[in-house]
């Protein structure tokens, strides 16, 4: 077994449980590759950047919007996360937490609960379910998508699962990391998985 495949298997064996994005300042990832009910999910890992906003930035929403726009992820909205399980079969979604905190269930009913706090960001692969479970009254996120992409939003509906799985395979891989504008955590984490799954 090569080192690359061995590290990929380690990445895929992430244990289940509650996940807190504040455990480390380094980008973290969760594998949510198995469908859950009518939620297709995706072999590409969910990526979390804890405390990515610099300490001297008081207006985190504006910082996220400027940073996302500069790096090919135009901001589309400021809002909490929908309180029901939903996913986007046609695009990846990027969220930056501007204010407050939220517990978000990713991956459908059998997925993982993640606590996100102001300054954190999360990249949700196409097809990965997400749902806000609990949040502070001031919780607001900035949402963004790769240039030229507009999200289709579907709920946990098993009759649409097979069609969504086909759609997800056609979603293009972003070429620019949202925080570097070039290679970065996104390309380093996603590229090996994409290369492996394309040969299966």
CATH ID of 19-198, from 2.40.420.20, 2.60.120.10, 1.20.144.10, 3.40.50.150: 2.60.120.10
Integer Cα distance of 169 and 176 in angstroms:
19
What is the rounded CA–CA span in Å between residue 122 and residue 94? 6
What is residue 18's predicted lDDT score, i.e. its pLDDT? 43
Where the chain has pLDDT below 70, the residues are 1-24, 198-200
Please give the backbone phi and psi of residue 117, each rounded to the nearest 5 degrees, phi first. -125, 165
What integer pLDDT is reported at residue 24 of this predicted model?
Answer: 56
Q: Quote the pTM value.
A: 0.87
- Parse the chain into domains and list their residue ranges: 19-198
């Amino acid at each position: 077994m090569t080192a690359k495949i061995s590290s990929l298997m380690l990445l895929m064996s992430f244990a289940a449980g509650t996940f807190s994005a504040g455990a480390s300042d380094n980008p973290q990832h969760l594998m949510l590759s198995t469908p859950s009910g009518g939620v297709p999910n995706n072999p590409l890992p969910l990526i979390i950047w804890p405390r990515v906003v610099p300490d001297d930035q008081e207006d985190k929403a504006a910082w996220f919007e400027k940073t996302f726009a500069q790096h090919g992820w135009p901001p589309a909205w400021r809002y909490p996360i929908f309180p029901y399980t939903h996913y986007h079969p046609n695009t990846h979604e990027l969220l930056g937490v501007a204010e407050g905190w939220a517990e978000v269930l990713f991956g459908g009913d059998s997925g993982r609960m993640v606590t996100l706090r102001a300054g954190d960001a999360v990249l949700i692969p196409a097809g990965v379910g997400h749902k806000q479970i609990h949040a502070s009254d001031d919780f607001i996120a900035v949402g963004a998508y790769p240039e030229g992409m507009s999200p289709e939003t579907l709920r946990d509906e098993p009759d649409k699962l097979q069609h969504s799985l086909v759609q997800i395979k056609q979603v293009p891989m972003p070429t620019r990391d949202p925080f570097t504008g070039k290679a970065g955590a996104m390309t380093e984490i996603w590229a090996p998985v994409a290369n492996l799954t394309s040969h299966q």
